[in-house]
Amino acid sequence: MPAFTNLSDKQVEELVRYVSKTPQQTERPPSNPSDATKNDKPAGEDMMPYKTLGFRRFTDPQGYPAIVPPWGTLNAIDLNTGKYLWKIPFGEYPELAAKGMHDTGSDNYGGPVVTASGLLFIGATVFDNKFHAYDSHTGELLWETDLPYAGLATPATYSINGKQYVVIAAGGGQSSGKRSGGVYVAYALP
């Protein structure tokens, strides 16, 4: 992370206080500075300007994102023009897929790895625990498999004795409500 040389000493002090106080979300600054004195603290003390109250999701009554699907996409962008080459729904909720609702997309955390031959490998989907291989030029799904836990990590590719492999850390977590684990799963490329 580069240095922020434009911050004043006071701003640096506030940032240090923010990152060293745990948990940051437990105290809310008073909406009215005069209310601070009710806690026997001087007005403004412990009022951290760099504060988060956490991540809040906007969901419908069933707990799904309260916007029109797809709720997650996988995109290829031409870095020379900034235009989309392709964009597809990415991930799904198994219970909705069982009802025939495919291509909803879902939360995804983790990036892809692309091989020299143009295979794009990615896990990243929170709810369906899938590991996918796509054609990086077209977005066509070529292969997928189930992981023991969600692969919320960027895969890696490596070679041993001329044989190429792809590996992903599958640990689950995030907001799926499923149990977490911790395994590495490797596949040999044909």
CB contact at 8 A, 72 and 108: yes
Number of other residues whose CB lies within 10 A of the CB of residue 155: 23
Assign domain 73-188 to its CATH architecture: Beta Barrel (2.40)
pLDDT(155) > 70: yes
Encoded tokens for 29: 């600054």
Predicted pLDDT at 31: 55
Q: Which residue is it, tokens 């911790």?
A: 182
Predicted pLDDT at 49: 61
Rounded to whole angstroms, the Cα distance separating 130 from 155 reads: 13
Domain boundaries, the chain: 7-56, 73-188
pTM beyond 0.75: no
pLDDT(178) > 80: no
Burial letters for 101-121: b for 16+ Cβ neighbours within 10 Å, e otherwise?
eeebbbbbbbebeeeeeebbb
